[in-house]
């Protein structure tokens, strides 16, 4: 194990710069509780003999990941959030008990082609996110990526992991705050995209160093679709029970209005759906 960490540390010579996120003025008590939980877990992760590297790079694709700390947050949207949907109710407290790596960016066309040998995207460009890929196509990509690196650690994020990583300790409408007037600094959406995708990492990241969680392309997650969060899991795992065959996508896209790009926004899609505004990012387990 020590040798693996040494290799990872060597590959990741430049560590991820984590900038402080501004606390949302509303819901101060909730925000402070979440931040304290995350801070405590980050300190705990670096205590003892084994330190969790802050970043990880896929040897086969160059895909970059950032370590996400354990902690708690309120998933969904509060009743007074502008542009919310009943699909985001009820708000419920979720505990993330294990660290994981979240991809810093959406999977690019170059990374997809490296593993799959093709590029199905409508808007071509190696650094643009891959799109026109179904949930089923993504499962095949994950299978081949794991085989290429002789592991079983890569997978789609659960819906809970996705929202937790997007929020990065916030409970606001977006990970940068509540005002959509700033959205163009962080996201490609209907008002600034020119009706097309854009290369990854051109907008500001959240405070955990994760890019494009708002806009550019919708992102598949592992979970089955449910109309609301009644009966949902509270441990961060994917919710795969239920009668619907549809899956969940998160984050909004270049084609979306500001409401659809919110941290809590979610959308139902058939698993065979393929659109020019639909892609994905991955998690890598420790």
What pLDDT is attached to residue 3? 39
Task: Indicate the DSSP class of residue 256.
Answer: -
What pLDDT is attached to residue 95? 96
Q: What are the CA-CA distances from residue 28 to residues 24, 80, 84, 146, 172 (Å)? A: 7, 16, 20, 42, 11
pTM as predicted: 0.83
What pLDDT is attached to residue 50? 57
The CATH architecture one would assign to domain 2-15+22-285 is: Alpha-Beta Complex (3.90)
Sheet (strand 55-57) strand order: 55-57, 64-68, 100-103, 283-285, 154-155
Task: Indicate the DSSP class of residue 16.
Answer: P
What pLDDT is attached to residue 44? 39
Q: Where are the domains of the chain?
A: 2-15+22-285
Query: Cis omega before residue 262 (within 30°)?
Result: no
Q: What is the mean pLDDT of each run of 10 residues along the chain (286 residues)?
A: 40 36 42 46 41 93 97 97 97 96 98 98 98 98 98 98 98 96 98 98 98 98 97 94 96 98 98 98 97
């Amino acid at each position: 194990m020590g040798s693996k960490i040494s290799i990872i540390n060597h590959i990741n010579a430049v560590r991820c710069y984590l900038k402080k996120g501004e606390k949302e003025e509303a819901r101060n008590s909730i925000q402070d509780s979440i931040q304290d939980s995350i801070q405590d877990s980050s300190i705990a992760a670096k205590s003892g003999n084994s330190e969790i590297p802050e970043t990880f790079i896929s040897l086969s694709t160059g895909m970059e990941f950032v370590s996400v700390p354990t902690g708690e947050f309120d998933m969904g949207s509060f009743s007074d959030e502008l542009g919310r949907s009943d699909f985001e109710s009820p708000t419920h407290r979720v505990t993330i008990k294990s660290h994981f790596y979240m991809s810093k960016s959406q999977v690019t066309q170059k990374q997809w082609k490296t593993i799959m040998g093709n590029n199905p995207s409508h808007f071509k460009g190696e650094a643009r996110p891959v799109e026109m890929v179904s949930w089923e196509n993504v499962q095949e990509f994950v299978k081949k990526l794991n085989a290429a690196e002789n592991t079983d650690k890569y997978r789609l994020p659960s819906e809970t992991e996705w929202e937790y990583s997007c929020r990065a300790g916030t409970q606001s409408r977006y990970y940068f705050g509540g005002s959509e007037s700033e959205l163009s600094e962080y996201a490609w959406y209907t008002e600034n995209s020119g009706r097309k995708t854009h290369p990854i990492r051109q907008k500001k990241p959240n405070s955990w160093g994760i890019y494009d969680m708002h806009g550019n392309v919708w992102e598949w997650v592992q979970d089955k679709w449910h109309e609301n969060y009644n009966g949902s899991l509270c441990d961060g795992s994917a919710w795969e029970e239920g009668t619907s065959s549809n899956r969940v996508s998160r984050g909004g896209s270049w084609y979306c209005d500001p409401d659809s790009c919110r941290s809590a926004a979610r959308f139902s899609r058939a698993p065979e759906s393929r659109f020019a505004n639909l892609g994905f990012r991955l998690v890598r387990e420790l």
